[in-house]
């Protein structure tokens, strides 16, 4: 792995948009083997099939948001902190297992691993719909997340194997845009389904999953696995425990207090587990995440930018749903309709404008513009909406958010994955998605900690405004790695001797 990355750095000139140059990277023979595309299966068909996996995985990140009040009423009315684990149990498990399943799947045909993930996700969705308690729902959400963690890296592995090097960056942008659209559409679709029952937000996955199983079994190319060291399950447990204890500390800080033994124990556990995990990655001959990946400047820059962006993204979508429900008293359907303009802008911006903008201004500039637009959307929500409900204010506030997600997220994902050597497709993509999902979990936890449980409407309003200002600031932190690491190094003009 280390020699591969060193050689790729020496032989690999980065394009402005973050895509690889035509120079072929050094990789293992098995990594260089192309997938067995039948004449009836085109790369775009592979893209369409694996994108369904991203739709399922990302839709369930946020479709539950608008259903939380209905779930609470039906399942003995648990607290907001307890309900938040229905969301964070999913995101933490998803984040922690992405790299583990990404590396484990390298031993087996990618198409088989992808279909196993689809089947397990579909079955877990049916179990979630049948849950009779909050604890049962959290457990089945964890199973859902494990299946999603198997689908995501294997879907990207199929995608990158189906496209030639020059087409990978664009394919990844499309794949990411579809996933981002599904995540952002979660509250919209959930708003419609909750009018019938909150259980439909899980049952909707069944027909989509079954159709994908049938089509994928017939159409997906066989991408063979290759011999590599098996991932360390202990390392996966370490990072899971570390992130879970961090989220627990953030969520419970209001209830327990900063100086309480519980918060101290949770913070200590976070330091121990995550420190142990980092030590493993630095010292192990077979690290869970290869630290040499972070010697690739575009990959590191995109990863460091995606982390704060994802934290703000997770917090923002939940905060808007809670504001519309608690402050304005809107129904789930009305919330979904008010939020719709933002998600609908994501594929329009990403697929129709991003490519030309990247070609003209570069990936760093496009990502930075998206980050700024997303932050402005949060500033809008912190300043404009008041106690009086306004459908116009809600829909207008979603526009800069949709533009920001459409410009930043697919571009950053395209930069990160297309800069990887072929032998690290699954591991590298799993790592950045792991960081992305961890950011979402931390963002939701921060929102719950800031909003807390006020007793007066005025306190609710002030808490939400503080949360949006905090998330806008966190979003803008991503500008630093974007502009420092993704922007290509300037080439020096040749010195002409007289």
Domain presence at residue 201: yes
Scanning 163-260, the segments in alpha helix (DSSP H) are: 165-194, 200-203, 205-219, 233-256
Asked whether residue 495 is assigned to any structural domain, the reply reads no
Q: Which residue has the tokens 């989220």?
A: 247
**Sequence-separated (6 or more) residues with CB below 8 Å from residue 73:** none
pLDDT of residue 425: 67
Residue with tokens 């001797």: 497
Q: Summarize the confidence of residues 107-111 as an average pLDDT.
A: 78
> Are 87 and 437 in contact, with CB atoms under 8 Å apart?
no
Q: Is residue 7 part of a domain?
A: no
Residue 134 within any structural domain of the chain: yes
Answer yes or no: is 193 within a domain.
yes
Kindly report, residue by residue over 23-56, the tens digit of the pLDDT.
333 333 333 344 555 555 688 888 888 888 888 8
| pLDDT confidence of residue 496 | 40
The listed range with the strongest mean pLDDT (351-360, 366-375, 384-393) is: 366-375
CATH of residue 261's domain is: 1.20.1250.20
What is the residue range of 370's domain? 42-222+233-486
User: What 3-state DSSP class applies to 142?
Assistant: helix
pLDDT confidence of residue 35:
53
- Whether residue 427 is predicted with pLDDT greater than 90 in this model: the reply is no
Residue 422 binned pLDDT confidence (cut-offs 50, 70, 90)? low
Is 244 inside a domain boundary?
yes
> Is the pTM for the entire model greater than 0.85?
no
483: tokens are 């502009």
Q: Is 36 helix (H, G, I), strand (E, B) or coil?
A: strand
Domain count, the chain: 1
Average confidence (pLDDT) over 459-481? 94
More confident residue, 466 or 247: 466
């Amino acid at each position: 792995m280390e020699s591969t990355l060193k050689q790729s750095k020496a032989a690999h000139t980065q394009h402005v948009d973050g895509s690889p140059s035509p120079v072929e990277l050094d990789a293992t023979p098995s990594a260089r083997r192309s997938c067995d595309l039948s004449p009836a299966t085109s790369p775009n068909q592979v893209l369409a099939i694996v994108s369904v996996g991203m739709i399922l995985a990302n839709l369930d990140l946020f479709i539950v948001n608008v259903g939380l009040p209905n779930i609470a009423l039906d399942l003995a009315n648990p607290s907001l902190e307890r309900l938040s684990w229905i969301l964070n149990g999913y995101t933490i498990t998803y984040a922690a297992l992405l790299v583990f399943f990404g590396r484990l799947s390298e031993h087996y045909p990618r198409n088989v691993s992808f279909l196993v993930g689809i089947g397990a996700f579909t079955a877990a969705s049916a179990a979630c719909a049948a849950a009779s308690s909050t604890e049962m729902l959290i457990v089945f959400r964890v199973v859902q997340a494990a299946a999603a963690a198997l689908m995501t890296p294997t879907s990207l592995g199929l995608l990158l194997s189906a496209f030639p090097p020059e087409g990978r960056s664009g394919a990844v942008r499309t794949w990411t845009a579809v996933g981002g659209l599904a995540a952002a559409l979660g509250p919209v679709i959930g708003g419609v389904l909750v009018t019938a029952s909150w259980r439909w937000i899980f049952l909707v996955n069944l027909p989509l999953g079954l159709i994908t199983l049938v089509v994928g079994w017939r159409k997906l190319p066989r991408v063979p696995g290759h011999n590599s060291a098996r991932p360390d399950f202990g390392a996966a447990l370490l990072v899971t425990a570390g992130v879970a204890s961090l989220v627990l500390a953030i969520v419970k800080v209001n209830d327990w207090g900063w100086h309480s033994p519980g918060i101290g124990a949770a913070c200590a556990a976070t330091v121990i587990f995550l420190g142990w995990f980092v030590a493993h990655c630095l010292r192990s001959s077979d690290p869970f995440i290869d630290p040499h990946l972070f010697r690739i400047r575009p990959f590191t820059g995109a990863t460091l930018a995606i982390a704060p962006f994802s934290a703000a993204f997770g917090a923002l979508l939940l905060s808007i749903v809670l504001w519309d429900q608690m402050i304005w008293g809107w129904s789930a359907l009305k919330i979904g309709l008010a939020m719709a303009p933002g998600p609908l802008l994501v594929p329009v911006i990403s697929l129709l404008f991003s490519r030309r903008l990247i070609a003209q201004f570069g990936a760093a500039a496009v990502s930075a513009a998206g980050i700024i637009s997303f932050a402005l959307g949060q500033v809008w929500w912190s300043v404009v909406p008041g106690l009086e409900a306004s459908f116009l204010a809600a829909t207008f506030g979603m526009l800069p958010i949709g533009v920001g997600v459409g410009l930043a997220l697919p571009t950053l994902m395209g930069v990160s994955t297309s800069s990887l050597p072929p032998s690290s497709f699954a591991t590298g993509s799993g790592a950045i998605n792991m960081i992305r999902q961890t950011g979402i979990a931390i963002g939701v936890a921060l929102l719950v900690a800031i909003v807390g449980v006020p007793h007066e409407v005025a306190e609710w309003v002030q808490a939400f405004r503080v949360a949006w200002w905090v998330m806008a600031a966190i979003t803008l932190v991503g500008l630093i790695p974007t502009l420092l690491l993704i922007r290509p190094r300037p080439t020096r003009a040749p010195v002409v001797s007289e």
